[in-house]
Structure 1
Amino acid sequence: MLQEKPNLKIAVYPGSFDPVTNGHLDIIRRSAKVFDKLIVAVLNNTSKNPLFSLEERIQLLTQVTRDIPNVEVDGFRDLLISYMKSKDVHIIVRGLRAVSDFEYELQLATMNTKLNDDVETFFMTSSPQYSFLSSSIVKEIARFHGPVSHFVPQEVEKELKLKFAAGSVQS
């Protein structure tokens, strides 16, 4: 009897992750249960001025996902569709917090399908306790030395405190 290779379901969860929040981790953990392998792809977005470098964001994500065996963290600097093609992956995972996210994400999903009709986007809604959470809000709280321990993993909280220590980053 001839054995076939299993058809692994691999997905990419792209984002800036500046910084990774508990909301991102929720989507990562839940997606890792659905797909055989999940690639968390950190975008180096040239139109943004990130707090953390691409390398720092990859390192933080690697640390906070180390207990999830089927998660791989990678970075990319070009179009998501080009990255997907280079990895031979056809599934994109996107998190949705609110209806306003859906409109933007639907635009992206439609554009990605126009660029490559073999690519499908799977939307995963945020768990209710993270529906308000964004990296921008976390950075704003951390900038003014507010508590962020409920919003980010401990490793990220530590790095945010270092970034916003007296004189490290301009407020």
Structure 2
Amino acid sequence: MTLAIYPGTFDPMTLGHEDVVRRAYQLFGNVIVAVAEGHHKKTMFTLKERMDMAREAVKHYPSVRVESYSGLLRDFVVAQGGNAIVRGLRAVTDFDYEFQLAGMNRSLMPDVEAVFLTPSTRYQFISSTFVREIAMLSGEVDKFVSPYVAQELQRKVVERKAQES
């Protein structure tokens, strides 16, 4: 049985991420959404908040679970018994980085396949970075994230603005 790991920081989980989860679920059945601690990135949401958003997004898929990891993705994939790493590609610019990453992962995990999935056309331009920026500037993000994530973004924006005052 194939177990696919879909890693990312998911800060926040977008409709594009959800679409990639759906596609991975259809292909593999068993999927772990691996939420990275994000030690190399300054995240807007805590690890717990990002995991909660991911759990909400995948709750309709019985064999998709959400786990967190820190350190090397390799260690997490091996510990979970993963056979495939799923990565989403939005554009050519993503491909160059992801291709290099897949090469490194293949040298670390020769028995694990990298699988690239593209989200539906309507989600290809969405990025967590853009969504965070729009939210921080009081823009509408409803077209880019689920209602739960939109609510969490609004809460976080209010919280941050209160801290700045």
TM-score of the aligned structures, taking structure 1 as reference length:
0.92
TM-score of the aligned structures, taking structure 2 as reference length:
0.95
- 1:111-138 deviations in whole A, cap 9, x for unaligned? 0011121111001112111111100000
User: 2:10 is aligned with what amino acid?
Assistant: F
User: 1:63 is aligned with what amino acid?
Assistant: E
Q: 1:117 to 1:169 in 2, by over 3 A?
A: farther
Question: Paired residue for 2:27, among 26, 34, 37?
Answer: 34
Secondary structure, aligned partner of 1:164:
helix
Counterpart check, 1:59 vs 2:52 = yes
User: 1:40 is aligned with what amino acid?
Assistant: V
Q: 1:103 to 1:163 in 2, by over 3 A?
A: same
CA contact under 8 A between 2:74 and 2:109: conserved in structure 1?
Answer: yes
Deviation at 1:168, TM superposition (A): 4.1
Secondary structure, aligned partner of 2:158:
coil
Moved over 6 A (4+): none
Secondary structure, aligned partner of 1:161:
helix
Q: Which has more radius of gyration?
A: 1
Q: Mark the runs of 5 or more structure 1 residues left unpaired by the alignment.
A: 1-7
Q: Mark the runs of 5 or more structure 2 residues left unpaired by the alignment.
A: none
Computed over aligned residues only, the root mean square deviation of the Cα atoms, in angstroms, reads 1.4
CA contact under 8 A between 2:2 and 2:83: conserved in structure 1?
Answer: no
Counterpart Cα distance in 2 of 1:72 and 1:124? 19
- Give the structure 1 partner of residue 81 of structure 2: 88
Question: Paired residue for 1:98, among 82, 87, 91?
Answer: 91
Counterpart Cα distance in 1 of 2:109 and 2:18? 28
Taking every aligned residue pair, what percent have the same amino acid on both sides?
Answer: 42
Name the one with the larger helix percent.
Answer: 2
- 1:6-56 deviations in whole A, cap 9, x for unaligned? xx1110000010000000000001110111200000001211110001111
- Give the structure 1 partner of residue 135 of structure 2: 142
User: 1:102 is aligned with what amino acid?
Assistant: F
- Give the structure 2 partner of residue 159 of structure 1: 152
Deviation at 1:169, TM superposition (A): 5.7
